[in-house]
Amino acid sequence: MRILTSADANFDQQLTDLLAFETVNDKGLLETVDHIIHQVRQTGDKAVLELTQKFDSHPATSMQDLMLTQNELKAAYDALEDPIKSSLDTAAERIKSFHQRQVQQTWEYTDDLGNRLGQKVTPLDRVGIYVPGGLASYPSSVLMNAIPAKVAGVTEVIMVVPAPKGELNSLVLAAAYLSGVDKVFTIGGAQAVAALAYGTDTIPQVDKITGPGNKYVAAAKRAVFGQVGIDMIAGPSEVLVYAEGESGDNADWLAMDLLSQAEHDTVAQSIFVTTSEEQLKAVEQAIESALAQLPKADIARQSLANRGALILVKDRAEGLQVINRVAPEHLELSLDNPDELIEDIRHAGAIFMGRHTPEAIGDYCAGPNHVLPTSGTARFSSPLGVYDFQKKSSLIYCSEEGSKPLAQVADTLAMQEDLEAHARSARYRSEQAN
């Protein structure tokens, strides 16, 4: 794990190198994904079934074998042990409660000319959510994608989840039931994204696709964007933890917060920024001690070696510069008074405030969405939310009298753009109003 110091003459280049990451620009990857999408568009169900058998070694012999019923989802939920069911219920309720506050409503007003203007807010008809599958258990991904869609009023939520060798995690199915998912297909990869984007005889075409996946899923989402909407092109998980060596800091806590991202993936990114050299060394030692006890230590160690860093800055001002330069997916402020920094933080997917707010709580049950912009895209992107499952239509109603002055303005501007039909279209209303 590299150590950087802001006082170094080449610190800026070191930080640039640390942050450099290309998500889905590999030519071979894009060609493979394009071929898969073409197959699905050409032969629909046949391609989906064959590709699922090939890539997932799925024993299915028909598309019917790749569909799950509501009874199967309910059975998975009912079979959960009470502590697990209670935790899943609590997480779902908190996520729903938070996202209900994001719902946008239709609005309009009447201007002083008597014209009515506004915006009509409408939920999407059908969305597809992609959930990582197999023996891995990611029920939180189901909750974070499906619940906001349902809160938004989406009519139908279609879930796709890969099932290597036909194996599925019952907790993922239980989460689908609890979230109100309408249909579940046990398919994954680029073929699942293509099926959702273009539709097949069995799989309905959707209006938008959300949810995380591997590099093939990310590349496929990019390829079908425009045919359907997507949430984002997600890169590896990342966290930036900022501290200032205050008396309440616990090096073991900080180390584990960094490792909680590093254990995700060998290309996940964990960055620690501090104004205290003593604290930096303490966290470095705590990381080494903790790695000896982690089941996924090999993954975490490689992640830290590949993209991790401990960064020493001169003061809080420099710390804020680094934070805004990184624009992290997850930002932890391990401080006595984290609110003091909020106004100056311009770029971050989610901000975890104070020592008792680890990023892990946000992953599961705090309430805000854990689908967040990565790879610096927090500079221009937001967390997944209800607003991603609603669209807006402008409302414009001109009264007979109110139309006249606006038509005259439109007539004048259209003529300046050399658009005669536009000008006449407006002018006729102006003349009629006379």
* Listed residues 230, 254, 279: the one ending a domain: 230
Domain check: are 279 and 185 in the same one? no
239 is a domain residue: yes
Eight-state DSSP code of residue 271: E
Residue 237, pLDDT > 90, answer: yes
Residue set of the binding site for substrate: 237, 261, 264, 330, 363, 417, 422
Is-contact 345 326, C-beta < 8 A?
no
d(CA 329, CA 228): 25
> Measuring CA to CA, which residue among 379, 286, 403, 280 is closest to residue 326?
379
Q: Please state the rounded mean pLDDT for residues 227-244.
A: 95
Q: What is the pLDDT of residues 56-108, one digit of tens each?
A: 999 999 999 999 999 999 999 999 999 999 999 999 999 999 999 999 999 99
d(CA 36, CA 43): 11
* Listed residues 190, 215, 230: the one ending a domain: 230
Confidence of residue 136 (pLDDT cuts 50, 70, 90): low
138 is a domain residue: yes
CATH number at residue 88: 3.40.50.1980
Residue 434, pLDDT > 70, answer: no
When the pLDDT of each residue in the chain is averaged and rounded to a whole number, the result is 95
DSSP code per residue over 366-403: SSS-S----TTGGGT-----GGGGEEEEEEEE--HHHH
pLDDT of the residue at 21: 85
* Listed residues 212, 230, 248: the one ending a domain: 230
What is the percentage of the chain residues whose pLDDT exceeds 70? 99
Residue set of the binding site for NAD(+): 130, 191, 214
Dihedral pair phi/psi, residue 221, rounded to 5°: -65, -40
381 is a domain residue: no
Q: What is the pLDDT of residues 31-63, one digit of tens each?
A: 999 999 999 999 999 999 999 999 999 999 999
Domain check: are 209 and 252 in the same one? no
pLDDT of the residue at 135: 59
11 is a domain residue: yes
First and final C-alpha spacing in the chain: 76
Eight-state DSSP code of residue 77: H
Q: What is the pLDDT of residues 309-336, one digit of tens each?
A: 999 999 999 999 999 999 999 999 999 9
Is-contact 60 247, C-beta < 8 A?
no
pLDDT of the residue at 430: 85
pTM of structure: 0.94
Catalytic residues: 329-330
Domain check: are 87 and 166 in the same one? yes
d(CA 41, CA 97): 39
pLDDT of the residue at 133: 83
388 is a domain residue: no
Q: What is the pLDDT of residues 375-406, one digit of tens each?
A: 999 999 999 999 999 999 999 999 999 999 99
Residue set of the binding site for Zn(2+): 261, 264, 363, 422
Per the structure, how many domains does the chain have? 3
Q: What is the pLDDT of residues 138-175, one digit of tens each?
A: 999 999 999 999 999 999 999 999 999 999 999 999 99
d(CA 372, CA 353): 17
pLDDT of the residue at 296: 94
The range of the structural domain enclosing residue 142 comes to: 27-104+122-230
Domain check: are 249 and 131 in the same one? no
Domain check: are 169 and 242 in the same one? no
Eight-state DSSP code of residue 204: P
Domain check: are 47 and 9 in the same one? no
